[in-house]
Every structure is written in C-alpha cells, then in structure tokens.
Amino acid sequence: MNRPILTICIPTYNRADYLRDALESVRRQLTPALSPVVEVVVADNASIDHTETVAREYANKIDRFVYVKNPENIGFDGNVNVAVRAASGRYCWYLGDDDAIVNGALAHVVEVCREDKYAVISVADRPLLSRPVDDSSTAYSENDHVSGLSPTENYTRGHLPSALSMLIFRRDDWLREADFADHTPGWFYFEVILKIAVSADAQVLRIKKPMVLTGQDMRWADGGAGLKIFIDCNRFLRKMLVWGYDRTVITKELDDNLRRFPIVLMQAKSRDLPFDRKTFALIRDFLVATPLHRKALGYLVYLTPNALIKALRLIKKKLT
C-alpha cells in the first residue's frame, strides 16, 4: 500500500463524544479518491470513558485508521508525540478532539499537500457553537492562499497560529526538528512548527478561509491552568530569539506580555487558581526580573480573593 499523502493526528483523552464528531467530520469527506491517501491516527491517553469504543467503531468506517492507546496518561505533549510518530503520511494535520474539519476542506488540503511545496500549512478557523456539526460544504481555491512571507512576518500576521487544529506540516521536517527532551511544557506541538517555519528554504502557506471548527470546551483552563500556559508561552518566545526570529518583534511581545500579566492572572483567579506555595512560586519566578511596580501589582492581584475577582468580572460583564 502506498504512503498516505495526509494523516489526521488526533490526540485525545476522555472526550469520546467530541471525538466522534471530529472523526465523523473526516469520514464524511472520504470519497473513493481520498480514502486511499488519507490516514487517521487516534492517540488515546489512557482514557477511562468510551473513547476506545468510538475509535474502534470508526476503524471499521475509515480505511486507513490507526488507534494507539497509551497504558498510562503520558501528558498532552507526550500524546502529541505518540500521534505524529504513529502516522505514516507525508503530511500531518493536528486535530483537537473537540474540533472538526469543515466539509470540503480535506480535498483541498490533500491537493496542496500533493504538491509537496510547503513545510507548514496553516488554516483559519471559526468557532464550533452547536452540535451536531454543520455538514454544509465549502469550496476553496488558490484565491484563499497567502504565501511568500518571512518567518517573522508569518508569525506576526497569525500565519503560525498556536491553536492545535490550525496546523499542518511535512512529517519528515517535524521528525527532524522535534526535541521532546527539551520542550516547553504544553507547547511541544507548537515549538516544532516554529522551528520548521524558520529553517532554511522552508515555505509557509496560509489558507485564509476557515477550514476548522474549533470547540469551545474550556475545561483545560479550570483551576487557573491558563496562567501556567501563559507563563510557559514566554519561555518559548525566548527560544524563538535563538531560533532566528526577529529580535525586536519577539522582545516587544515579551514586554507586552509583562503588561498583560495582571489581566491573565485575574482570568486565572476567576477559574479558581489555587492559593498555595506552588502557585506563589510560579508567580514569583515570573516577576523576579520585573520593575517593582509590576511586582507589586502582580502580588496585589494574587492576594485578592478569587471570589472577589469573580464578582468584579461578573459586574463588568453585566455593565458591558
């Protein structure tokens, strides 16, 4: 059997019903011409719901289907690593388990991948606001394409988005650049893309018409987890300086993030950020090199009770 042109890589954990929608959004586009060249990989991070049942159901519906179940939860980054390494396609498309591919997008992406011209292809998205997923078809053409920009321009214009399901990449390039031993927690999937995009002769294509419906499940932010993701984001921004992105642009983003920190902290507290030593240490380490007034504001927000932050945000929401 010939190598697939494209593998849809779906890392998943305990979201069986969402996974069914994601898989169905792929299955319904697999015409006789596409079925032999599109592979689906589901990497199950030791789910305890009926994820395996859903996966095995779709193994009987999709010709080229790979299901990998980890014996234990190895974390999001590890599961992404498993998914891509289990793939055999020339290109891979990350797909979040609560997202879906717009009907009509798959055929267009396969044709672009068939050319083997681009190292990274990014696609636009729109929110998935209701289920079952809308199955109306969308047409795409080269008029929806943007390319020819520098790595830094691609980044600043949003052509290298951090949303998982908006990223397609040449798998051989991914294997060359992936360094699981030295990645920023939670950002492994994106760091590899950024490294590919800045490598010599790499071309990036942006498809500006939405191809992905992104789920609005925000459980990942529960317990104030968004704060750590934000802080870790600044770690990979510093790596981007080493990889070759424009220093002025990246330094400005780092400075902007310092100014945004109190807002991000309030958002995390509104989602029950713990008041404990571990969280305090995380904030202290982030603020260590900042001016005194920024330290003071950060600590003041952290010491404000979560209940008060929630009340203030609710009042603001009602007034706006």
Q: How many domains does the chain have?
A: 2
Domain closes at, from 217, 232, 248:
217
CA distance 180 to 21: 30
Q: What is the DSSP string of 188-233?
A: HHHHHHHHHHHSTT--EEEEEEEEEEEP---GGGGGGHHHHHHHHH
Do 134 and 259 share a domain, yes or no? no
Do 37 and 129 share a domain, yes or no? yes
Do 202 and 299 share a domain, yes or no? no
Distances, alpha carbon 141 to alpha carbons 59, 112, 145, 159, 212, in Å = 31, 10, 8, 18, 16
Q: How confident is the model at residue 289 (pLDDT cuts 50, 70, 90)?
A: confident
CA distance 217 to 19: 13
Task: Establish how many alpha carbons lie within 13 A of residue 249's alpha carbon, considering only the half-sphere containing its beta carbon.
Answer: 13
Q: Average pLDDT, stretch 105-117? A: 97
Partners of 124 in the beta sheet?
A: 210
For 133-188, the pLDDT digits (tens) are 878 899 999 999 999 999 999 999 999 999 999 999 999 999 999 999 999 989 99
245 lies in some domain: yes
314 lies in some domain: yes
Domain closes at, from 217, 243, 259:
217
- Name the burial class of residue 280, with classes exposed (0-12), middle (13-18) and buried (19+) by CB atoms within 10 angstroms of its CB: middle
The length of the chain, given as a count of residues: 320
Do 189 and 231 share a domain, yes or no? no
Domain closes at, from 198, 217, 236:
217
Domain that holds residue 289: 220-319
Do 132 and 153 share a domain, yes or no? yes
155 Cβ contact list (under 8 Å, min separation 6): 194, 197, 240, 245, 249
Q: How confident is the model at residue 320 (pLDDT cuts 50, 70, 90)?
A: confident
Do 253 and 131 share a domain, yes or no? no
Do 243 and 188 share a domain, yes or no? no
For 192-249, the pLDDT digits (tens) are 999 999 997 889 999 999 999 998 776 766 788 889 999 999 999 999 999 999 999 9
131 lies in some domain: yes
| Per-position b or e across 66-86, b if 16+ CB within 10 A of its CB | bbbebeeeeebbbbbbbbbbb
Any idea what the CATH number is for the domain that residue 119 is in? Answer: 3.90.550.10
Structure tokens at 14: 């305990």
**pTM for the model:** 0.91
1 lies in some domain: no
